[in-house]
Amino acid sequence: MMYALALLPLTLAAGGGLDYARAVEVKTSMNEALDAAALAVAQSKDLTPDQMQTLAQQYFNANYHQSSDYGTPVAVTVTKVGQVITVSTTCNMPTTMLRMAGLANWTVTSTSSVTFGQTKLWVALVLDNTGPMSDSDRSGNTKIASLKTASHSLLAMLQGAAGQDGDVKVAIIPFAKDVNAGIGSVNANWIDWTDWEAANGSCNISGKTTTGACKVAGTWTDAYCSSSKYTTQKSCTDAKKTWTAASCNIPGYSSQSSCKGAIGTWTPAKHATWNGCVTDRGNPSPIGPDTQYNYDVTNLSPVPGRTTSLFPAEQYSSCTQTVTTLTKEWNTLSTAIDAMSANGSTNQTIGLVWGWHALTDGAPLSPGALPDQTQRVIIILSDGLNTQNRWSGNGSQQSSDVDARMALVCTNAKADGVIIYAVYVDINGAQGNSSVLQKCASPGDGKYYDLTSSGQIQQAFNDIGLQITNLRVTR
């Protein structure tokens, strides 16, 4: 009898433990689904209350995977107070053994809140557009296609993080060996045309395609007969052979002495034929353009008249996508992402320095004065090693000279208060870690990503987006 009397509470206690475990499962699943729903609403902008509720419900349904045997959560509710988005729901979970004690349902409640922190941001996306970005991983996804998808998601997150219109602005800096400043800059006073004019134009001497070749002294060719037996014009023509008069390879010179003293005339092409590409500024030795300023590794504004401070134009065929200056026009940014293509060799240095210029008041990109309480961020993604810049490298092997310049850019930009996130896409780990990108990233966890598949770009950009917008999930 004593045993029988004790059996019922023991059974209820065991059943209560079982139902408690079931309730924990339900709450855990609800927490995860609500976190996803809250983040989705927080990252979207200008939604009405009904639209927020609809979006939250969609994300909750997509992420809640508990069986209907555990009950069905009621419709989620969404509230927004200041910088906090709160999403909540309740599930009346059917009990098992506790039903014997008259408790048919266990009410499980869950709430997730997302709090915005820093909302004023200037962000430069420095994105590798070199040839190897067209490679695909085992899933068949190319790196450039995955980059576009991830970039669109990041832009949506940044747009949603802006408390007020203009609080978040983004620049896009596609890079290869050069960057494309845009043909609209053709009349800018910060462009150096010296090398471009020397390489692009025409010579009045046939076959001379550079100014150096054109300005070589003329070549005199003595008269001759098609048959070497005849040395005079009369004897040659009497013999029915062809006589060729003496000539200079530069038109207009009829004597040997004047020909050998002449040089060709080089006519530079019109600047309107420039494709917009610029290369590293400065001179090659020592590291940096000169011992005083090191222009190619700084964000110093160009100084008209000081050649080493200007950006040399170059007719490089593989920098097809123009940089997008800092803007809050999200459609413009999205269009720029879609237009990216993969061509050329890798010069991460020039991409970084132009990303820094995009966040610096003054020429060449002139974003304006930095607003108070605004954080500047560079996100650089690259899939390879530095292989070529204006002075060194062959486009196929790593260049230590380019690496050295890149290290200086990173050090200088971080000293200027810019936070740098670096993402290295090394499919299947074929090349190993990129030490130069790892050292470039700002200190702290989550600033450097070493990826081994194209599909990981999305998660990396999502993580970075959460960090820089300071979206945080609270309970």
The reply to whether 410 falls in a domain is yes
Give a yes or no: residue 321 inside a domain: yes
State the average pLDDT over residues 320-330: 96
Is 245 part of a structural domain of the chain?
Answer: yes
Supply the pLDDT for residue 430.
67
- Phi then psi for residue 467, to 5 deg, are -65, -50
The DSSP annotation for 74-105 comes to PPPEEEEETTEEEEEEEEEEEPSGGGGGT--E
pLDDT of 13 strictly over 60:
no
For 183-211, how does the pLDDT look when each residue is reduced to its tens digit (9 = 90+)? 999 999 999 999 999 999 998 877 778 88
Question: Residues 33, 95: one domain?
Answer: yes
Ranges 93-97, 308-312, 316-320, 353-357: which has the least confidence: 93-97
For residue 315, give every residue at least 6 positions away whose Cβ sits within 8 Å of its Cβ, in sequence order, or none: 196, 199, 200, 274, 275, 277
pLDDT-based confidence at residue 318 (cuts at 50, 70, 90): very high
Other beta carbons within 10 angstroms of residue 292's beta carbon come to 8
- The whole-model pTM stands at 0.72
Domain count, the chain: 3
Report whether pLDDT(283) > 60: yes
Asked if residue 373 and residue 294 are part of one domain, the reply reads yes
430, 407 in Cβ contact below 8 A? no
Taking the C-alpha atoms of residue 423 and residue 416, their distance in angstroms, rounded to an integer, is 21
Q: Supply the range of the domain harboring residue 241.
A: 204-268
- Are 323 and 190 found together in one domain? yes
Distance CA 335, CA 184 (A): 18
Using left for φ > 0, alpha for ψ between -120 and 50, and beta otherwise, residue 166 falls in left
Q: Which residue has 């999930």 as its token pair?
A: 473
The count of residues in the chain is 475
**439 in the same domain as 311:** yes
| Final residue before a domain boundary, out of 56, 84, 115 | 115
Using CB atoms within 10 Å of the CB of residue 134, give its burial: 0 to 12 exposed, 13 to 18 middle, 19+ buried: middle
Same structural domain for residues 428 and 346?
yes
Return mean pLDDT, the chain. Answer: 88
**Residue 475 placed within a domain:** no
156-160 — which CB contacts under 8 Å span 24+ positions? 156/43, 156/44, 157/43, 157/462, 157/465, 157/466, 157/469, 157/471, 158/121, 158/123, 158/465, 158/468, 158/469, 159/45, 159/330, 160/42, 160/43, 160/44, 160/45
pLDDT one-digit tens code per residue, 448-458: 999 999 989 99
Residue 355 lies in a domain: yes
Could you tell me the two tokens for 287? 């590291």
| 56 class by beta-carbon count within 10 Å (0-12 exposed, 13-18 middle, 19+ buried) | buried
Domain end residue (candidates: 48, 82, 115): 115
User: Is residue 70's pLDDT more than 50?
Assistant: yes
When pLDDT is cut at 50, 70 and 90, the band that residue 327 belongs to is very high
Residues 44 and 111 reside in one and the same domain: yes
Answer whether residue 347 is part of any domain. Answer: yes
Q: Can you give the pLDDT at residue 280?
A: 94
Residues 314 and 367 in one domain: yes
Question: Strands 84-94 and 77-81, how do they pair?
Answer: antiparallel
Joined together, the tokens standing for residue 34 give: 């609500």
Whether residue 371 sits in one domain with residue 279: yes
Determine how many CB atoms are found less than 10 A away from the CB of residue 306: 13
Which of helix, strand or coil describes residue 194? helix
Element (H, E) at 330: helix 330-338
Is 229 among the domain residues? yes
Of 86, 115, 144, which closes a domain?
115
Do 435 and 320 lie in one domain? The reply is: yes
pLDDT for the residue numbered 397: 84
Indicate which CATH number applies to the domain containing 375.
3.40.50.410
* pLDDT tens column, 129-178: 999 999 988 878 899 999 999 999 999 989 988 878 899 999 999 999 99
- What digits encode the pLDDT tens for the residues 101-117? 668 888 999 999 887 66
Give the C-alpha separation, 151 to 157, whole Å: 10
Question: What is the rounded end-to-end Cα distance, in angstroms, of the chain?
Answer: 49
pLDDT of residue 27: 92
Supply 188's token pair. Answer: 């800018």
Q: 143-161 vs 330-338: helix axis angle to the nearest 10?
A: 170
The verdict on 289 and 405 lying in the same domain is yes
The band of 7, judged by pLDDT with boundaries at 50, 70 and 90, is very low
Choose from 22-36, 249-263, 346-360, 393-407 the range with maximum mean pLDDT. Answer: 346-360
9 pLDDT more than 70: no
Question: Which helix (H) or strand (E) segment is 180 a member of?
Answer: strand 179-180
The verdict on 328 and 228 lying in the same domain is: no
Are both 226 and 186 inside the same structural domain? no
Instruction: Evaluate whether residue 304 is within a structural domain.
Output: yes
pLDDT at 186: 97
pLDDT tens sequence across 417-427? 999 999 999 88
User: What percent of the chain clears pLDDT 90, i.e. is strictly above it?
Assistant: 61
Q: Which amino acid type is present at position 96?
A: T
- Least confident interval from 58-67, 111-120, 322-331, 438-447: 111-120
- What are 253-269's pLDDT values in tens digits? 788 888 887 787 899 99
Cis peptide before 286 (omega within 30 of 0): yes
